Structure 1
Amino acid sequence: MILNIARDSATKSEILIGFNPGSGKNYNQQEDDRDLSGPGAPVDLWIMSPDGVKLVSKWMSLPKVTRADTVFLTAKAALSGRYTINRSKLTTIPVLYQIWLIDKYKKDSLDLRHNDNYTFDIDLNDTASFGSNRFLVITRQDPALGVHLLNFTGTKAWEGAEIEWKTENEADYTGFTVERSIDDGSTFTAIGVFLSSGMGSYSLPDKTPPVGAGYYRLKIQLVDSSIAYSKVVKLMFSNLNNSVTSNPISIYPNPASNMINLEIEKTNAVGTAKNHSYTITLISNTGYIVKTATTTSQNWQADITGLISGNYVVHVLDNNNKALVGKGTFIKL
């Protein structure tokens, strides 16, 4: 973000406030620039670092959710009159962050994310109207815009375990890691790493679950490099030879553009078609239910020409005992 103080188009002084992971608040000669302007400049704007160094550029880490960061500005001018602080180049700062210009002299503030200039007066006969005690910039996270984990679930599936989660407000800087523990939650190991796609709905199959208790959790890496964790989900696996049970449903053709066929293995049908029924649900990769149907047959067909291209999940539920019969996927061309 660039700020400049100007009296007119020809007279201005400019500073840069930047954000970089690992940067500190004090002066760093490797990345910050000192203010080398001398006395008598028509206008002058600089940053005073916490360790007392005058700067025209300062790099720092983005503040974490629990605190706000403050940059202290000094504004001076050779003449009394009306001046403007202008803001530019804000696009690289994540929208999660609020940025405020505070005018302590006028007891006023300006939202720099949605406004790009602030007009004020300097009176050389009033020392409180200029200098190092009037302006500061505060940066803080907006909790309403932070990434929120809406749910995190784990279910036993035909291929082992299916881990699913939904979020809101994630961006391309949000990282997800699914972790598993096989020692009652004492230690966790990563089994899948994702960078946010902005879709809000994610899943990961665990095809090699442990025998006995498996514990799963989601680690979320935030833009400020801090870490948040989901609740822990426990699943019990009793398959002692660790084999994977075959899926009792099949979907074809796959990929498909017009029609799909679904078959349920007869060994998984209870009773006859006359007294047995299934609920079939099609779910998009964003988690929305796009089609539901009830059938009493082990063979079902659906027209998918109205669906958008992408990946879809199919759930088959036994209406007699409300148990999941099977789960499959297909690609709509």
Structure 2
Amino acid sequence: MMADKVTSLQVAQRAGVSQSAVSRVFTPGASVSKKTAEKVRQAADDLGYRPNVLARAMVSGKSRIIGLVVAYLENYFYPEALEKLSNALQSQGYHVLVFMASQTAGNVDNVVGEILDYQVDGIVMASVAMSSDVAVRCEQAGVPVVLFNRYEDREGVTSVTSDNFAGGRKVAEYLLAGDHRRIGYIAGWEGASTQRDREAGFVAGLTAAGRSLDARAVGNFKLEQARDAARGMFADPDNRPDAVFVANDHMAFAVMDVIRFELGLRIPQDVSVVGYDDVPPASWLAYNLTTVRQRANLMVDETVKALLTRIGNFDTTRARKITIDGPLIVRGSTRGPAGGPQQG
């Protein structure tokens, strides 16, 4: 037979405090003295009491839950960024529910419907395409959405990204300064704003110097497709690039492996390779990859700030497109302006 459920009144009586004090102890962000909190938590432990978060949410109208939609976790950038996002939201008294979705808009509508069933206070979408239907549904439900590392060209949706256009342009200018003769680009998934902007900035930098792409292939942000792209791009010894910009580090590692171990070429003496993100393996000696750094800490700070602002005052006119500049981190995978590899 199941024992009777312990109530907050019983905890209050055991701790010698008011029932409202017990409620404040278990309400994130509520003001309560350290002494009172210790007494209440001890009494709760002694009695086996756990607060009913869902019941409180129904009363207050706030679940203190944030839905976090993730496309994929193979890329090192996302586990690190999502850990920072979760920690930052939890420090503000929010719980995080993680949902997996495809990069494309395919199943995002279904995922968002499931998230809204949890009465979430807000949603963060990390590198996921968002359909107009989803935006309208969230707006109608009064649930603010912030896009992380992706933006959509529509009113009322706040986004936080690196300045991908500026980053791509920096790569072009750097490779041109290194006197590279043939320059290639391996693209990510072409539906992603990050991919489009990185390539547009890169091409703009080349165009400004009277140059254009000499080779282009698509890796779709996937390892095996990036390998195939590299095999095709470097197959002809007479026409292969002597520099390649790869749309993210995750693919760049695969490209470097093909260049070195399948084709027997040297990096950077035969081919300079540049990535984007500056994930931890980029600094490993095995790769030592020149790359554009995505400043995850700043991106997370801006995402949390934007989301909590909109939760506090849900007004779609306050939506913003936030871009954060990222530095080019020069390492040994490229020949620098002086003609030799540069460490940085």
TM range (shorter): under 0.3
- Of structures 1 and 2, the one scoring higher in RCO (CA 8 A, sep 6+) is 2
Structure with the bigger percentage of strand:
1
**TM-score normalised per structure 2:** 0.23
**TM-score normalised per structure 1:** 0.24
